[in-house]
Amino acid sequence: MKRLIFIFLILISSCNGNKKTDKIVSGEKTQSEFKLAKSDFVILTYQTNWYWIFKNAKPTELTQSELIEIENILKTLVKENNDAQKIGLIEHNKNYPDNQKTASAYKLKLDGFKRQYVPIINDNGQKEVWINFFCDDTGAEEYWKTEIMIVDDGGNCYYNLKVNLDTKEYYELRINGY
């Protein structure tokens, strides 16, 4: 009888399970929730020598639900950036007919990029994430998984920004120049 009660208790405790949305991510992908392949992103632990990204920061982790939240904020960023760039492009081309530019120079997209996420807790106790995008890891096949990719120029193939998960805002968008 004791053995039967013990087995019953084990079965009940194993049914509780973890919520998928609260699962800490360290490279695995949940296809139904976060669409990036494991080979396309990495979550790096903040290092104090990365003071140029954040000051007075404490490293933290990201959950699946936070990655989904970030993705929604990034979709807003891309739309707002591309709309603003389109308006600026029309104005530029109208004012400088001999120096026409194309929309592709500053247009952002999310697909086809590798990503580095650096999550931290700031001085105010808010969770922030610096996200570094790059479209080519040639020559840095494994390097980008442990070290920040820093590239001069390269245009919109390389950009980064910060997201504050508490305020749901993005800021400091930096698109590389040519």
Q: How many CB atoms are located within 10 Å of the residue 154 CB?
A: 15
- Cα–Cα distance measured from residue 77 to residue 106, given in angstroms and rounded to the nearest whole number: 13
pLDDT for the residue numbered 157: 80
pLDDT digits (tens, 9 = 90+) for 146-156: 999 887 776 77
Mode of pairing for the β-strands spanning 41-43 and 158-164:
unpaired
* pLDDT average, residue stretch 71-84: 93
Q: Which domain holds residue 19?
A: 2-175
* pLDDT average, residue stretch 145-166: 87
Burial label for 54, CB within 10 Å (0-12, 13-18, 19+), is: buried
pLDDT for the residue numbered 1: 43
pLDDT digits (tens, 9 = 90+) for 1-28: 444 333 333 333 334 333 333 344 444 4
Domain tally for the chain? 1
Residue 158 in this model has a pLDDT that exceeds 60: yes
| 118 touches 53 (CB < 8 A) | yes
